[in-house]
Amino acid sequence: HLHLPPRANQPRPTQLTTSPPPAMVATAKIPQRQLFIDGDWRVPALGRRLPVINPTTEASIGEIPAGTSEDVDAAVAAARAALKRNRGRDWSRAPGAVRAKYLRAIAAKMIERKSDLARLEALDCGKPLDEAAWDMDDVAGCFEFFAGHAEALDKRQNAAVALPENFKCHLKKEPIGVVALITPWNYPLLMAVWKVAPALAAGCTAVLKPSELASVTCLELGDVCKEIGLPSGVLNIVTGLGHEAGAPLSSHPDVDKVAFTGSYATGQKIMVAAAPTVKACYIGTWRQKSYCSI
């Protein structure tokens, strides 16, 4: 496991904006997005959408797409194709320095869009506006941090391993494959990026399923990836309900690993769903007021 990036070298604000300013609430609307699959926006297979509720006013401020198993199949297929494209030379087997360029481009766009992203985060999950802005700094810092790790992988490839006489051994690091990333509502974009950035740095391709309670900024990540030209299928984003999108993603036979942060009960269900295909799992969850990982 790689260490999480340190927070930006500046103090947190001592006074937080406890809610979005009245003018912002009055004009509160979110972008109308679709699912982000294979590098483009795609209408959900069943055409359904979920309302987005502003916790401050309890008013509906827009909708997000409600993906289902059909959309999960499409997203996983896109991720698998991206992993294998050009025999992996386009992404999974490309030098880490190539992937680092994309991660740094995403980081730069996050800073460029910081105000808009912080506004959307505050409207979507009720986070104080100043706290949401701080999170966007951390989002950019996370992509920068793992860009450095992607470059470091190049230097560590084929490192010699000391063995007894007459044996030769070299260490080769390879991505595990297609990863499913399932994230919670409390740090919507930041906690998603804690999973997305290291996965992409390692050469994996991914399907992100954010919490249906706070998915808005995660869909904006898709727009950033589209703008900077991230190869199609490398990152796919499927929003929707847990039992309709998260469950089929966890059990999908073409997913190689599942990473999840959320409730203990949901973590149990994900491990059960992953068991028949013996998927690698990373489960971070809360139980009895403590955090544990498996």
The Cα 28–Cα 119 span in angstroms is 9
pLDDT-derived band at 13 (thresholds 50, 70, 90) equals: very low
Predicted confidence at residue 209, as pLDDT, reads 98
At position 214, the amino acid (one-letter code) is A
pLDDT-derived band at 93 (thresholds 50, 70, 90) equals: very high
Predicted confidence at residue 195, as pLDDT, reads 98
CA 64, 248, 256, 202: dihedral to nearest 10 degrees?
10
Residue 230 inside a domain? The answer is: yes
Predicted confidence at residue 164, as pLDDT, reads 86
Helix-, strand-, coil-residue percentages of the chain, each rounded to 5: 45, 20, 35
Predicted confidence at residue 292, as pLDDT, reads 53
Predicted confidence at residue 251, as pLDDT, reads 96
| Mean pLDDT of the region 283-290 | 68
Asked if the model's pLDDT at residue 66 lies above 90, the reply is yes
Residue 162 inside a domain? The answer is: yes
Residue 18 inside a domain? The answer is: no
Q: What percent of the chain has pLDDT over 70?
A: 87
The Cα 207–Cα 56 span in angstroms is 30
Write out the residue range of the structural domain in which residue 164 sits: 35-285
Residue 28 inside a domain? The answer is: no
Residue 24 inside a domain? The answer is: no
The Cα 99–Cα 203 span in angstroms is 7
Express each pLDDT in 96-142 by its tens digit.
999 999 999 999 999 999 999 999 999 999 999 999 999 999 999 99
Asked if the model's pLDDT at residue 215 lies above 80, the reply is yes
Predicted confidence at residue 138, as pLDDT, reads 98
| Mean pLDDT of the region 196-215 | 98
Predicted confidence at residue 166, as pLDDT, reads 86
Predicted confidence at residue 21, as pLDDT, reads 57
Domain count, the chain: 1
Predicted confidence at residue 2, as pLDDT, reads 45
Residue 256 inside a domain? The answer is: yes
Contacts of 199 by beta carbon, 8 Å cutoff, 6+ apart: 179, 181, 206, 259
Predicted confidence at residue 156, as pLDDT, reads 87
DSSP letter string over 138-187? HHHHHHHHHHHHHHHHHHHTTEE---STT---EE------EEEEE--SSS
CATH number of the structural domain spanning residue 54: 3.40.605.10
Asked if the model's pLDDT at residue 20 lies above 90, the reply is no
Q: Output b/e per residue, 112-135; b: 16+ Cβ within 10 A.
A: ebbeebbbbbbbbbbbbbbbbbbb
Residue 136 inside a domain? The answer is: yes
Residue 8 inside a domain? The answer is: no
pLDDT-derived band at 81 (thresholds 50, 70, 90) equals: very high
In whole numbers, what is the pLDDT of the chain averaged over residues?
A: 90
pLDDT-derived band at 29 (thresholds 50, 70, 90) equals: confident
